[in-house]
């Protein structure tokens, strides 16, 4: 880098300022660096904008399709928030409430959690094999569908939770029978 010193008018030789003088090559390099950084911004900016747009679409799309899962008591406590929306409700089958109707073909039953009951209507002819009203056994049930304004639930799917095989072995040792299959002695 070459430097030259110039004496500015009205100043004494002792107050000399050194002003660097840039060559054409140095000015050209600065210009090339400026072009490169602009080119980088022209590439980076659209990529960031596309990424933000995809993330925004994903998040707003997921919000509309999200399915909340709530125990029966919490669902009914917040019914204004969940009425008419897709939701999952968890509870235990109330013994003696399961009823199959033939015309129209549907199941009706009641779920309960912490003393709060929710009548459920499932407009299908077939329920899972594990969904049985067995006296003396709590049957955990998850239903998916929508909460109605009259505090009933219209289910589109039913999932019954089976007790674990270890729980059933313990019950079998106390003389209880397994509700859906025999316990093998090999286990």
CATH 3.40.190.290 correct for 68-173: no
Instruction: For 73-132, write each residue's pLDDT tens digit.
Output: 998 888 888 887 889 999 999 988 999 988 888 999 999 999 999 999 999 888 888 888
Q: Residues 28-50: what's their mean pLDDT?
A: 79
pTM to 2 decimal places: 0.55
What 3-state class would DSSP assign to 101?
A: strand
Taking the CA of residue 178 as centre, how many other CA atoms within 13 Å lie in the half-sphere pointing to its CB?
18
Domain boundaries, the chain: 21-62, 68-173
Q: What is the pLDDT of residue 35?
A: 77
């Amino acid at each position: 880098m070459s430097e030259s010193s110039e004496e500015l008018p009205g100043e004494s030789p002792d107050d000399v300022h050194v002003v660097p003088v840039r060559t054409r090559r140095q000015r050209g390099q600065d210009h090339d660096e400026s072009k490169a950084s602009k080119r980088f911004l022209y590439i980076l900016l659209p990529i960031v904008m596309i990424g933000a747009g995809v993330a925004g679409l994903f998040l707003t799309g997921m919000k509309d399709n999200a399915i909340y899962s709530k125990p029966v008591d919490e669902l009914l406590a917040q019914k204004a928030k969940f009425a008419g929306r897709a939701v999952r409700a968890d509870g235990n089958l109330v013994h003696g409430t399961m009823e199959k109707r033939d015309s129209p073909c549907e199941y009706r039953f009641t779920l309960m959690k912490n003393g709060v009951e929710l009548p459920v209507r499932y407009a299908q002819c077939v329920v899972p094999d594990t969904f049985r009203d067995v006296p003396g056994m709590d049957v955990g049930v998850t239903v998916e569908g929508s909460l109605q304004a009259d505090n009933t639930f219209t289910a589109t799917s039913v999932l019954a939770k089976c007790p674990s095989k270890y729980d059933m072995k313990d019950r079998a040792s106390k003389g209880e029978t397994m509700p859906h299959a025999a316990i093998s002695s090999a286990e």
